[in-house]
């Protein structure tokens, strides 16, 4: 099986490429710049193409020639979730690219969605929970899914919409919580400022999430929405304390230094039953 991965040098993309190679897939990896790709361990094992998939002049038919499935991860501008460019630019640019790929013969498309499609709803969220996006990023992603579902009626193809929750690991945004904590530990700081830490979230190591995405791509008949989540709510404080134990650090947490964010509910997590049923209990994540 040959998979075209867009956003291949991004946080999720670099790990998905590795997971696909480990499962015997061929990979055509696409990113805007070749330099970051050269630094990744899989560079010599893939067919790399430097291209901007939002460029309207791009020959998409040539890009997808000989490919069995498209894993579309590219989405510029993150982690700025509030900017209008998500629906003023990215939404239609993404739709045009995917439509051209489908028209060129791609029959299977996996797109990474987001837990922000659910908006400010609390508690366990499954795939039947009606999306209520509350920021431009979530709105744009959910609208793209609706556009693609309508496209399926005119050009039948398999659409696998994988909603990502909170991911952590190598290559994560340097401003993310655990990356900031690692910097504080490495700097031998005595104190780490954070919120009260009682928020409940759904966390996955990036390697596990990438394995799930690779597994979905290999389930070629699956069509629909699936939460790429752990199914287990964990408090932010518990996540931080576990990371401190892993690092053997005795840093003091200054709880309550930052207010709780207003753009997220205090407690929400993804129900992972559909994912587990698709991939099986013995999935090699």
Is residue 210 included in any domain, yes or no?
Answer: yes
Residue 30 has pLDDT above 50, yes or no: yes
Whether residue 281 has pLDDT greater than 80: no
CATH value at residue 220: 3.40.50.720
Is there a domain that residue 220 lies in? yes
Q: pTM here?
A: 0.94
Q: Which domain holds residue 144?
A: 2-167+203-231+270-280
The structure tokens listed for 218 are 């290999």
Query: Is 248 exposed, middle or buried, given 0-12, 13-18 or 19+ CB atoms closer than 10 A?
Result: exposed
Cα–Cα distance, 90 to 96 (Å, whole number): 10
Write out pLDDT tens, residues 198-248.
999 999 999 999 999 999 999 999 999 999 999 999 999 999 999 999 999
- Give the per-residue SS3 of 89-132: HHHHHHHHHHHHHHHCCCCEEEEEEEHHHHCCCCEEECCCCCCC
Predicted confidence (pLDDT) per residue in 92-125, tens digit: 999 999 999 999 999 999 999 999 999 999 999 9
pLDDT band, residue 285 (cuts 50/70/90): very low
**56 occurs within a structural domain:** yes
Domain assignment of residue 107, yes or no: yes
- pLDDT of 284 over the 60 cut: no
Check if the beta carbon of residue 66 is closer than 8 Å to that of residue 22. Answer: no
> Has residue 120 been placed in a domain?
yes
Give yes or no for residue 195 having a pLDDT over 60: yes
Beta partners for 163?
Answer: 113, 227
Strand, coil or helix: 79: coil
For residue 285, being part of any structural domain is answered with no
- Residue 224, in any domain of the structure: yes
Beta strand 2-6 with 26-31 is parallel
Instruction: Judge whether 104 lies within some domain.
Output: yes
- Split into its structural domains, the chain has a count of 1
């Amino acid at each position: 099986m040959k998979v075209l991965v867009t956003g291949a040098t991004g946080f999720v993309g670099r790990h998905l490429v590795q997971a696909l190679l480990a499962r015997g897939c061929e990979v055509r990896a696409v990113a805007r710049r070749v330099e970051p790709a050269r630094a990744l361990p899989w560079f010599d094992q893939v067919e790399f193409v430097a291209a901007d998939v939002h460029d309207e002049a791009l020959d998409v038919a040539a890009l997808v020639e000989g490919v069995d499935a498209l894993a579309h991860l590219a989405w510029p501008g993150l982690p700025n979730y509030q900017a209008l460019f998500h629906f003023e630019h990215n939404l239609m640019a993404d739709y045009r690219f995917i439509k051209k790929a489908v028209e060129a013969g791609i029959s299977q498309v996996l797109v990474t969605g987001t837990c922000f499609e659910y908006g400010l709803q609390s508690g366990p969220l499954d795939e039947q929970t009606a999306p209520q996006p509350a920021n431009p990023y979530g709105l744009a992603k959910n609208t793209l899914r609706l556009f693609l579902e309508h496209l399926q009626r005119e050009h039948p193809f398999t659409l696998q919409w994988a909603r990502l929750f909170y991911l952590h690991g190598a290559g994560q945004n340097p401003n993310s919580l655990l990356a900031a904590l690692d910097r504080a530990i490495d700097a031998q700081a005595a104190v780490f400022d954070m919120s009260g830490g009682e928020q409940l979230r759904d966390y996955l190591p990036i390697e596990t999430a990438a394995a799930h995405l690779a597994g979905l791509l290999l389930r070629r008949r699956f069509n629909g929405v699936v939460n790429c989540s752990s199914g287990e709510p964990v408090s932010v404080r518990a996540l931080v304390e576990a990371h401190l134990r892993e690092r053997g650090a005795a840093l003091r947490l200054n709880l309550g230094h930052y207010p709780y964010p207003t753009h997220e509910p205090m407690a929400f997590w993804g129900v992972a039953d559909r994912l587990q049923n698709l991939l099986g209990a013995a999935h090699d994540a």
